[in-house]
Structure 1
Amino acid sequence: MTALGRPQFLLQFSEVLVKWRCFFSFLAAKQRKDGVEVLEQKLDLEQLQVPRLGNYFPNENAPICVHMLNFFPFCILFFEQTGQLEPLLSKFTEEEERQMKRMRQRLDVLAKHAVENGVRLMVDAEQTYFQPAISRLTVEMKSIFNRDKAVVFNTYQCYLKEAFDNVSMDVELSRREGWCFGERSRAAEIGYEDLINPEYESTNRMYQRCLDYVLEEIERNKKANVMVASHNLDTVKHTQKVNKKVYFSQLLGMCDQISFPLAQAGFPVYKYVPYGLVNEVIPYLSRRAQENRGIMKGVQMDRELLWKELMH
Structure 2
Amino acid sequence: VEINLIRVDINVRRLNTLSNRRAQSTVASTQSDQDVTNREDAGAQSYPSRKSRNASSSPKISIDFELTQEAYKSKDNLELLRSLVVFKLCSYDLLVDKNKELMDISKFLLGKKAFEQFMKMTFYGQFVAGEDHKSIKSLIQKNRAFGVGSVLDYSVEEDLTEEDAVTKEMDSCVSATEKEGMGMDHREKQYKAHQQFGDRRGGVTGARTYFYADEAKCDQHMETFLKCIKASGGSSVDGFSAIKMTALGRPQFLLQFSEVLVKWRRFFSFLAAQQGRDGMEALEQRLELQPLQVYRTHRALLCLFVQTGQLEPLLNKFTEEEEKQMKRMLQRLDVLAKHAEEHSVRLMVDAEQTYFQPAISTLTVEMQRIYNRGKPVIFNTYQCYLKEAYDIVTMDVELSRREGWFFGAKLVRGAYMYQERRRAEEIGYEDPINPDYETTNMMYHKCLDYILDEIGLNRNANVMVASHNEDTVKHTLRRMNELGLTPTENKVYFGQLLGMCDQISFPLGQAGFPVYKYVPYGPVNEVIPYLSRRAQENRGFMKGSQRERELLWKELKRRLASGQVFYRPQPEPGL
- 1:81-230 alignment, distance < 5 Å: 89-90=314-315, 93=318, 95-187=321-413, 192=418, 194=421, 196-230=433-467
Q: Is the 8 A contact 1:163 1:206 kept in 2?
A: yes
1:310 aligns to 2:556 (yes or no): yes
- 2:518 partner letter: Y
The Cα of 1:175 is off from its aligned counterpart by 1.3
* Structure 1 residue matching 2:478: 3-state secondary structure: helix
| 1:22 corresponds to | 266
C-alpha contact (below 8 Å) 2:249/2:329 kept by paired residues: yes
8 Å contact from structure 1 (residues 190, 292) kept in 2:
no
Aligned counterparts of 2:390 and 2:305: Cα–Cα separation in 1? 34
Q: Do the aligned partners of residues 223 and 185 (structure 1) sit closer, same or farther apart at CA in structure 2, a change above 3 Å counting? A: same
**Structure 1 position 89, deviation (Å):** 3.5
Query: What one-letter code is carried by the residue in structure 1 that aligns with 2:451?
Result: V
Cα distance in structure 1, aligned partners of 2:269 and 2:530: 35
How far apart are residue 224 of structure 1 and its match? 2.0
Q: Classify 1:99/1:220 alpha carbon distance in 2 versus 1 (closer, same or farther; 3 Å).
A: farther
**Post-superposition offset of 1:301:** 1.0
What is the number of residues matched between the two proteins?
281
Output the amino acid matched with 1:73: L
Q: How does 1:203-282 map to 2 (within 5 A)?
A: 203-243=440-480, 244=486, 245-276=491-522, 281-282=527-528
Q: Which residue of 1 aligns with 2:137?
A: none
Q: Distance in 1 between matches of 2:415 and 2:473?
A: 13
CA distance in 2, matches of 1:78, 1:247: 43
Identity %: 70
131-140 or 288-297, which deviates more:
288-297
Structure 1 297/191 Cα, relative in aligned 2: closer, same or farther at 3 Å? farther
Distance 1:188 1:18, change over 3 A: closer
Contact 1:16 1:89 in 2 (8 A): yes
Instruction: State the distance in 2 between where 1:188 and 1:11 align.
Output: 19
Classify the secondary structure of the residue corresponding to 1:266. Answer: coil
Q: Alpha-carbon deviations, 1:32-74, whole Å to 9, x = none?
A: x9xxxxxxx84736xxxxxxxxxxxxxxxxx52549x979827
Q: Structure 2 counterpart of 1:197, which letter?
A: N
Q: 2:282 corresponds to which residue?
A: 64
Q: State the 1:218 CA deviation.
A: 1.1
1:263-304, Cα deviation, whole Å (9 max, x unpaired): 122111111022345566455455555665555464101110
Which structure's CA Rg is the greater one? 2
Q: Offset of 1:85 from its aligned partner?
A: 9.3
Shift of 1:26: 4.0
Structure 2: segments with no counterpart, 5+ residues:
1-244, 295-302, 422-431, 481-485, 559-575
Q: 1:267 to 1:99 in 2, by over 3 A?
A: same
Instruction: Give, in whole Å, the separation in 2 of the partners of 1:110 and 1:241.
Output: 36
How far off its partner does 1:105 sit? 1.4
Checking the alignment, whether the CA contact within 8 Å between 1:142 and 1:152 is kept in structure 2 is yes
Q: Is the 8 A contact 1:189 1:294 kept in 2?
A: no
Cα gap change, 1:22 to 1:78, in 2 (>3 Å)? closer
**Counterpart of 1:4?**
248
The CA deviation at 1:215 is: 0.8
Cα deviation for residue 234 of structure 1 reads: 0.8
Greater relative contact order: 1 or 2 (C-alpha under 8 angstroms, separation 6 or more)?
2
Q: Give the root-mean-square deviation of aligned CA atoms.
A: 3.2
In the alignment, which residue of structure 2 is the partner of 1:44?
A: 279
Amino acid at match of 1:19: K
1:248 Cα shift? 0.4
Worse overlay, 203-212 or 222-231: 222-231
What is the TM-score when the length of structure 2 is the normalising length? 0.44
AA matched with 1:142:
Q
Change beyond 3 A, Cα 1:305–1:198: same
Offset of residue 111 of structure 1:
1.2
More helix by share: 2
The separation in 1 between residues aligned to 2:339 and 2:517, in whole angstroms, is 21
In structure 1, C-alpha distance between the alignment counterparts of 2:531 and 2:263, rounded to whole Å: 33
Change (3 A) 1:285 1:205: farther
Q: Which amino acid aligns with 1:146?
A: N
User: Are the equivalent residues in 1 in contact too, given 2:493–2:513 (CA < 8 A)?
Assistant: yes
CA deviation string 1:168-195 (max 9, x = no partner) = 1111111122110000111377764825
The one-letter amino acid of 1:211's match is L
SS in structure 1 opposite 2:500?
coil
Deviation at 1:204, TM superposition (A): 0.4
In structure 1, how many angstroms separate the alpha carbons of the residues matched to 2:534 and 2:384? 16
Shift of residue 200 of structure 1? 0.3
Choose which of 304, 328, 349 in structure 2 pairs with 1:77.
304
TM-score computed with the length of structure 1 as normaliser: 0.78
Indicate how the Cα distance of structure 1 residues 180 and 26 shifts in structure 2: closer, same or farther if over 3 A, else same.
same
- Report the residue type matching 1:20 in the other structure: W
Which amino acid in structure 1 is aligned with residue 336 of structure 2?
A: L
Q: How big is the shift at 1:25? A: 3.0
SS in 2 for 1:44: helix
